[in-house]
Each structure stands twice: as structure tokens, then as C-alpha cells.
Amino acid sequence: MSVLIGGVLLGAGVLLFVLEPVFSGKSAPMYDGDDVFDEGAARRRVALTALRDLEYDRATGKLDENDYGQLRTELSREALEHLEDEGGGGDGGRGPDRASRELEEEIAELRRAIREGMQCGACEHLNRLGAQFCGRCGEGLGREPRMPGEGLS
Amino acid sequence: MTILGEIALWISLPVALWGAAVSFAGGRLGRGDLVLSGERTVHVVTILLVLVSAGIIAAFLGNRYEYYYVVNYSNRELDTYFKVAGLWAGQRGSLVFWTLLLSVFSSIAVFFNRRRNREFMPYVSGTLLGILSFLLIVLLFAEVNPFERLGFTRFNGLGLNPQLQNYWMTIHPPTLYLGFTAFAVPFAFAVSALGMLKVWNMVLVVLTFLLTIFATFLTRSGLIESVHSFAENLTIAYIFLGFMGGMAIFAAILIIHRLPSLRPENQIQSFLSRESAFLFNNLLFIGVTFAVIWGTLFPLITEGFFGETRNVGPPYFNRVNIPLGLMLLALMGIGPVIAWRRASKRNLRKNFTLPVAMGVATLAVLLVAGVRHGMALATFALAAFVMTIVVTEFWKGTKARARIAGEGIVSAFRGLVKRNRRRWGGYIVHAGVALVFTGLAGAAFDARVEQEMVPGEAMTVRSALGSEYRLVYESLSHTRPRVADDVQENDWRWTALLTAYRDGERIGVLRPEKRFYPVMEQTSTEVGISSSVLEDLYVIPKDLETGTDRATFEVKVLPLVPWIWTGGMIVAIGTLVGLWPPRGVPVPSAVRERAVRRPVPAGAAG
């Protein structure tokens, strides 16, 4: 008898728990909440991850400067293309996680680099913000070198 | 408890079918309530299967000999520990255990993805519940129900296979099952999130899952001579074969249908790149897999074509797989050092000088020491090469990070691993595998002596590493242990006592044993083992004569065997590091190549 009651209770409990969402309309999220990636964002992120690997390979001496420069240009362009896909809006503040923020900062830096003419006119290499000469071909980056003390004028 | 378990088994099937149906429907129709119901089902099925398993264990512990399964795998004389293990001692219980593990893995997958990969999670739940439903149908309708009753109650059971009455034999099924059953999870992700993987990744994931089913079919059916063929029921083997065929067709259709979106976007840019190393790596793994399949199926193939069964033994597997394994080992070293996309010869020279030098130095030292075994030499040299690379990688990475981030060595090291767990977890795994290989190559130097002795006599054996082991045969005793007063003995034991000395120093007492199981009328052997950092000492009793106490022992010294265990543990640690979920939500790789446009929620635009 007690077994029968146990079985019935078990069955009823299972039914209730499994069917409850259908009756109450409770819903599972159908799309990723905090961390939504669309095509552009995903591709940009992939390109940025590749950029990071590139930096690491260079720092540990696995890549030649020449290859590094060339690949960096390609990857940066790819990352930026997808950035522009989004209408320049970016996706700032989307994710609360640190990795996301760090990536956003990298994107922002790349964007400033373009705006402020850090891309080399001769070889299209994308240089770090603040660079005065191209890291790849040595070409000047179209700005007068600042002398100490005159930066703010 | 047992009846509750049986009820739980019957409830679980309709529930799992419901869950599979609403998960697919919910995904298709975009109905979150159905999806939630499906995900709850996954957890419910897990709980139900825990009850089922508890029911089976309760039947074993309670000596319920009205159940066919309990009668066949237990008796009153059996130790409690082995009664609990009865859950996976036979085919019926093993199937329940497989289903239980798969449901636990499914629950974990659903739980960790409750806010991630939401677009395709309904299909993942659906696929997993589909596989679970299949297993439950088999359990309930293929004459393998673990709760089947005899119609009468026997006073005692038939006992457990003596081979399984050993601690390590008892835990081997669950430890292997853990990995084996888990392959259904990547399969579910692969077929649900098409586009997340490249074609060949997809094929590999699907193939792996199908092969786990195929292996089950082969061993369970008895087609291949195997200790695992329960051979009580062949229907189930063919059901598995049919299921595998169905899944293969389903996966093939999916892959072909989605082929355009699966094509790799990036070409391999250079032969000298990590991408191409990965490609070779995968080809080698496929090579090893097919070599093993060929060797396993060989008796069937020869029987089918030539009418006589021929077996291939260890020589075949060694000849084919050792060279492939060594190539894999080499790639394990090359992979991390070679750059993504493009590596230049100059860089390679720079990065490979030290590791190659270490490999060559190892080779030279061993040659001077008199080692002449070609494969073993190659293994040791390559392992040294891989180890050097792993250590250098960690060192270089830490140094680079310390320099760039301006951190101390310790925090740079922590930051390094944290930032890219998969990379560094992978390197740890490489180090572990190099150790495992080294340990395996130790088999080339096994020392073996067989000797007949009477108590008081001693024997010596010299190991390849130069230690001298001396074993003094002290005595032979006979016991008939009982688990309780009111039962017979489960087994009769003849235990030899030997004191072991290494290079004159006493290292312990070994108690190798012969056992006789009166119920099964079978004997078994318990090996006396003494393990040190460098080698294992095995004492195997061959012949024990009561009365005269004369005994023959086979003594083996197996160099580097403990390294296999240590390496395995390092592999496990590396895997944990690699899989440990990062804080915050990582990039779902699933979205990489996928064109998913999500509808903009109201109010979010602008």
C-alpha cells in the first residue's frame, strides 16, 4: 500500500514539475541574455582572439616581425570591418565580465588608431596608438613628433 | 525501495519521450514554456534514474532473490561492497548505469547552458532525451529489465563472477563508463548547433559517438570474443546496431544538408603552421582509430571472407600503433612551438634548438648506458623533447606576461593560465601524456623470474634500472573468510607471505593470493604489488601446494609503470584546468561561423 502511495506521489510530483511551465506560461530564455553575440560581434571577437594569439606568438619569439606585421594588419582590418558592420555602435557595456571589457578596450584603441591616423599610409600596417613611425616599414605616420612640454598646447 | 525503483523506471520513459518532443517543438516554434518543460524533464529523468539505481542496489543488499538480475550476480556470501557494485556487474545493470551517467551528464550540460547557447539548447536537450528514451525503451522492452521477477524466490543467488571480486576490477566499469557515455553530449551539441563546427570536426564528433555504440554492439553481442559479452541476449546487440545505423543516417543527412555552412572559411595559410600540425594530429588519431577497429574486426573479416577465424594479437597493435603514437608524441611537442598561421624556418630553428638538444642528449645518455631498444629510445627522446617544450612554453609565457603586464612571476603565471585556460590546460595534458608514453616504453625492460620455493627460501631479481630485489618466502596460510555468521564462505584463500628487500633494504611484506570460489567453482589470483617511484614489483603466485607449502612464484619488475599513473593524473589535472568554467561568460564558440540574427527585443532598439 505504502509503495503504491509512494509511486503515485512520485508520478504526480514528476507530472507537476514537468508540466508546470506549460500551464503557468513560465518560459526558458530563448536567446542568450547578458551575452548576446550576433554574427558581426562573433567575428570581431574571433579576430581579436586571433590578434591576442598573434601578440603571444610574437612575444615568445615564434613569429618573425615581418609576418607579425602583415598578419596583424590583416586581422585588425578584419576586426574593424565587423566593428563597422555594427554602424560603429559597438556593443559596449553588454557583458559584465572582465574579458569582454578588455576586448572592448582593445577595439576602442584600434578605432582611435584609425581615426588618429595610426594606420601607415605606405603599407597599411595598423600601428599602436601613439606611434610616430610605422612599426613595419618605418614610414612616418603623418604627424609632427611632439616635443616634451608642448603636448597640451 | 526496489519497487519504487521499478516504478521510477516505468515513469521515466514517457517523461523522457515527452521531454524530447517538447524540446524539439519548443525550439522549432520558439515556445519558451515547452523548452523549459523539456529542460526540467532532463533533470527529472536524472532523479528517476537515481531512484532506479538505488532500487537495484537495495535489491542486492536485501538479498532479493526473486529478481532474475540479483540471482545472477550476487549471493548471500558476497561482501556488501561487491553487492553495491552489482549495479554494473551484468548487462541489465550496466545499461541502467549507462543511462544514469548519460542523464547526469545531460543535466550538467543543460544546467551550465541555462543562459548560454540558448538558440540551440532546445535541440541539445531534445537529442539527449531522445538517446535516453532509446536506452529506456531497450531497458523496458528488450528483455533486459533489471526488475524482471523469476516467479519464485530462490534461497540464494548464483554469485558474482570472481574476476570482478577485486577492488580495481570493480571500479573499472564506472571509470571507463564516465568517458564512454559522455560522448553523447558533444554529439548532441554537434547535431544541434550545426555550423558551430567545421566539417571534419563535425564528422569526428559524430563518428566518436557512433563508435561508442558500435563498440557496445560488438562486445555485448559476443561477435568478438570478449569477457564483456554477456551473451544472454543477442536481441539487444542488434537493437544497438540498428540504433547506430539510424543515427549514422540522421547525422549524414544533417551534415550533407548543411554542408555549405560547414565549409571552412579559413584556408591553411602555410604548411609550417600550427593549423597544419593540428590537421596531421587529427589524421594520426584517425589512423590509430582505424588500426584498432581493423585489428578488432579482423577475426570477423577473416571468418566472413576465408571461412576461418584468425586473431591478431598484441604484436599487430604494437607494430601499427607504436609508430603512430610516436608521431603523435612528436606533434605534441611541435604544435605549441609552431606559430598560428605562419611559422618561419628561422623561428623554428630558434625555438626548437633547446628541445631538440634535450632529446638528443637523452638519447645519447641512454645509448651510453647501454639501452638498445629502438622504439623505447625514440620514446624517451621524444618525451624529453616534449617536456622541454612544455616547460619552456610556461617559462616564456610567464616571462612575457610579467614584462608586458609588469607583474611578479607568480601572479604573471596565474594570470597567464587564467587568461587562456585551454592553451595551458592543454600543455599540462601534453606533459602528462609524455610521462604516460615514457611509462609505456618501460615495458621494453621488464624483468621476469619464475622460481619454486619452500618457506625460508629466497629469490632475487635484478631490474633493468639496476635495483636488486630479494624476496624471502615466509609462509603459506589458508583461510575461509565469511561475511556473516549464518552464511557459507564466499571464497577459500591461500595466502603466501613474502618479505621484499630492495638493494638490501626491507621495503615491505607482500601477500599474493590464490582464491577458490566454491559457488562458481573458479579460481582467481591476487597479485602482490609493491610500488616505488621508478618501478613496480609484482609477485604472482603460480602454484601453491598445501601440506608441503611448496610454491612457485613469478616475479616481475616493471620499470616506469608508476609514471603511467602519475602521467594519467597530470592529464586529468590538465583537463580540469582546460575545462574549468571561466568567471563571467566566455565567447560561445558556437556563434563563430553561424549566421544568427536575433529579433531585437522591444525597447532595445536605438
Q: Which of B7, B40, B400 sits opposite A18 (nearest CB)?
A: B40
Question: Do the domain assignments include residue B593?
Answer: no
Average pLDDT over residues B490-504: 92
Whether pLDDT at A80 is above 80 = no
Contact between chains at B40 and A38 (C-beta distance less than 8 A): no
**Which position has the grid cell 585588425?**
A76
Cβ–Cβ under 8 Å, residues B87 and B97: yes
Average pLDDT over residues B302-316: 81
Q: What is the pLDDT of residues B310-331, one digit of tens each?
A: 778 888 888 888 999 999 999 9
Q: Which grid coordinates are listed for A13?
A: 510530483
Whether pLDDT at B224 is above 80 = no
Q: What is the pLDDT of residues B532-586, one digit of tens each?
A: 999 999 999 998 888 888 999 999 999 999 999 999 999 999 999 988 876 644 4
Q: What is the pLDDT of residues A32-61, one digit of tens each?
A: 755 555 666 677 777 777 787 788 878 877
More confident residue, B295 or B198: B295
Question: Do the domain assignments include residue B187?
Answer: no
Contact between chains at B35 and A32 (C-beta distance less than 8 A): no
Whether pLDDT at A94 is above 60 = no
Judgement on whether residues B340 and B431 belong to the same structural domain of the protein? yes
pLDDT of the residue at A90: 42
List the domain boundaries for chain A: 39-115
3-state SS, chain A, equals CHHHHHHHHHHHHHHHHHHHHHHHCCCCCCCCCCCCCCHHHHHHHHHHHHHHHHHHHHHCCCCCHHHHHHHHHHHHHHHHHHHHHCCCCCCCCCCCCHHHHHHHHHHHHHHHHHHCCCECCCCCCECCCCCCECCCCCCECCCCCCCCCCCCC
Cβ–Cβ under 8 Å, residues B563 and B442: yes
Contact between chains at B350 and A61 (C-beta distance less than 8 A): yes
Packing angle, helices B374-405 and B421-441, rounded to 10: 160
Give B137's Cβ-side CA count (13 Å radius): 11
Cβ–Cβ under 8 Å, residues B236 and B91: yes
Quote the number of domains for chain B.
4
pLDDT of the residue at A150: 39
Contact between chains at B597 and A39 (C-beta distance less than 8 A): yes
Q: Which of A32, A39, A63 sits opposite B118 (nearest CB)?
A: A32
Q: Which grid coordinates are listed for B149?
A: 521477477
What is the spatial distance between Cα B43 and Cα B107, in angstroms, rounded to a whole number? Answer: 5
Judgement on whether residues B493 and B439 belong to the same structural domain of the protein? no
Range of the domain at B223: 194-265
Contact between chains at B393 and A60 (C-beta distance less than 8 A): yes
Question: Do the domain assignments include residue B380?
Answer: yes
Whether pLDDT at A78 is above 90 = no
Q: Which residues contact B395 (CB under 8 A, 6 or more apart)?
A: none
Q: What is the pLDDT of residues B366-377, one digit of tens each?
A: 999 888 889 999
Contacts of A57 in chain B (CB under 8 A): 339-340
| Greatest mean pLDDT range, A4-8, B167-171, B326-330 | B326-330
Give the residue from chain A lying closest to B341, CA to CA. A71
Contact between chains at B396 and A57 (C-beta distance less than 8 A): no
What is the spatial distance between Cα B139 and Cα B45, in angstroms, rounded to a whole number? Answer: 14
Whether pLDDT at B335 is above 60 = yes
Would you place residue B485 in the very low, low, confident or very high pLDDT band (cuts 50, 70, 90)?
A: confident
Tally of residues, chain A: 153
Contacts of A28 in chain B (CB under 8 A): 26, 32-33, 35-36, 39, 114, 118, 121
Contact between chains at B342 and A62 (C-beta distance less than 8 A): no
**Mutate which of B342, B345, B399 to disrupt the A interface (most A C-beta within 10 Å)?**
B342
Give the residue from chain B lying closest to A5, CA to CA. B4
pLDDT of the residue at B201: 80
Judgement on whether residues B17 and B113 belong to the same structural domain of the protein? yes
**Which among B524, B448, B534 has a CA at the least distance from the CA of B493?**
B524
More confident residue, B382 or B589: B382
pLDDT of the residue at A79: 72
Contact between chains at B115 and A59 (C-beta distance less than 8 A): no
pLDDT of the residue at B376: 92
More confident residue, B125 or B157: B125
Contact between chains at B587 and A42 (C-beta distance less than 8 A): yes
Q: Give the rounded percent of residues in chain A with a pLDDT score beyond 90.
A: 9
ipTM over 0.85: no
Pairing of strands B535-544, B447-453: unpaired
Q: Which of B118, B585, B592 sits opposite A29 (nearest CB)?
A: B118
Which DSSP category does B469 fall into?
A: E
Contact between chains at A46 and B584 (C-beta distance less than 8 A): no
Q: Give the rounded percent of residues in chain B with a pLDDT score beyond 90.
A: 45
Whether pLDDT at B476 is above 70 = yes
Question: Do the domain assignments include residue B595?
Answer: no
Give the residue from chain B lying closest to A17, CA to CA. B40
Helices (H), B66-183: 68-73, 80-84, 91-112, 121-141, 167-182
The angle formed by the CA atoms of residues B590, B595 and B597, to the nearest 5 degrees, is 105
Question: Do the domain assignments include residue B232?
Answer: yes
Burial B289-321 (b: 16+ CB within 10 A, else e): eebeeebbbbbeeeeeeeeeeeebeeeeeeebb
Whether pLDDT at A89 is above 70 = no
Pairing of strands B535-544, B551-559: antiparallel
pLDDT mean across residues, chain A: 70
Judgement on whether residues B71 and B128 belong to the same structural domain of the protein? yes
Contact between chains at B337 and A62 (C-beta distance less than 8 A): yes
Whether pLDDT at B495 is above 50 = yes
- Can you say how many angstroms the Cα of residue B324 is from the centroid of all Cα atoms in its chain? 20
Average pLDDT over residues B196-200: 72
Average pLDDT over residues A98-110: 66
Which DSSP category does B67 fall into?
A: B
pLDDT of the residue at B5: 92
pLDDT mean across residues, chain B: 86
Chain A nearest C-alpha distance from B134 (Å): 20
**Which position has the grid cell 600503433?**
B321
Judgement on whether residues B320 and B246 belong to the same structural domain of the protein? no
Would you place residue A102 in the very low, low, confident or very high pLDDT band (cuts 50, 70, 90)?
A: low
Give the residue from chain A lying closest to B335, CA to CA. A62
| AA letter at B348 | L
Judgement on whether residues B127 and B54 belong to the same structural domain of the protein? yes
Contact between chains at B36 and A21 (C-beta distance less than 8 A): yes
Judgement on whether residues B102 and B154 belong to the same structural domain of the protein? yes
Contact between chains at A28 and B119 (C-beta distance less than 8 A): no
Would you place residue B480 in the very low, low, confident or very high pLDDT band (cuts 50, 70, 90)?
A: confident
Average pLDDT over residues B238-249: 89
Whether pLDDT at B458 is above 50 = yes
Q: Which residues contact B2 (CB under 8 A, 6 or more apart)?
A: B55, B56, B58, B59, B62, B64, B67, B147
pLDDT of the residue at B591: 41
What is the spatial distance between Cα A102 and Cα A95, in angstroms, rounded to a whole number? Answer: 11
Three-state secondary structure call for residue B579: helix
- Can you say how many angstroms the Cα of residue B358 is from the centroid of all Cα atoms in its chain? 32
What is the spatial distance between Cα B543 and Cα B553, in angstroms, rounded to a whole number? Answer: 7
Q: Which of A14, A29, A35 sits opposite B11 (nearest CB)?
A: A14
Domain boundary among the residues B134, B151, B182 is at: B182
Sign (positive or negative) of CA dihedral B211, B212, B214, B218: positive
Judgement on whether residues B2 and B135 belong to the same structural domain of the protein? yes
Judgement on whether residues B239 and B167 belong to the same structural domain of the protein? no
Contact between chains at A10 and B15 (C-beta distance less than 8 A): no
Judgement on whether residues B543 and B492 belong to the same structural domain of the protein? yes
Judgement on whether residues B32 and B156 belong to the same structural domain of the protein? yes
Contacts of B36 in chain A (CB under 8 A): 21, 26-28
**DSSP notation for B400-441:** HHHHHHT--HHHHHHHHHHHTHHHHHHHHHHHHHHHHHHHHH
Burial B470-493 (b: 16+ CB within 10 A, else e): bbbbeebeeeeeebeeeeebbbeb
Contacts of A100 in chain B (CB under 8 A): 584-585
Would you place residue A93 in the very low, low, confident or very high pLDDT band (cuts 50, 70, 90)?
A: very low
Count of CB pairs separated by less than 8 Å, A with B: 160
Chain B nearest C-alpha distance from A153 (Å): 31
Residues facing B508 on adjacent strands = B500
pLDDT of the residue at B90: 84
Q: Which grid coordinates are listed for B202?
A: 563535425
Q: What is the pLDDT of residues B399-437, one digit of tens each?
A: 888 887 778 888 888 888 887 888 889 999 999 999 999
Average pLDDT over residues B95-119: 91
Whether pLDDT at B248 is above 60 = yes
Q: Give the rounded percent of residues in chain B with a pLDDT score beyond 70.
A: 91
Chain B nearest C-alpha distance from A68 (Å): 9
pLDDT of the residue at B588: 43
Judgement on whether residues B116 and B84 belong to the same structural domain of the protein? yes
What is the spatial distance between Cα B594 and Cα A41, in angstroms, rounded to a whole number? Answer: 11
Whether pLDDT at B199 is above 80 = no
**Which among B596, B164, B494, B261 has a CA at the least distance from the CA of A38?**
B596
What is the spatial distance between Cα B375 and Cα B21, in angstroms, rounded to a whole number? Answer: 54
Contact between chains at A10 and B592 (C-beta distance less than 8 A): no
Q: What is the pLDDT of residues A54-68, one digit of tens each?
A: 888 788 777 777 778
Give the residue from chain B lying closest to A31, CA to CA. B118
More confident residue, B296 or A137: B296
Question: Do the domain assignments include residue B217?
Answer: yes
Q: Which of A14, A27, A95 sits opposite B33 (nearest CB)?
A: A27
Q: How many CB atoms lie within 10 A of CB B450?
A: 13
Q: How many CB atoms lie within 10 A of CB B465?
A: 14
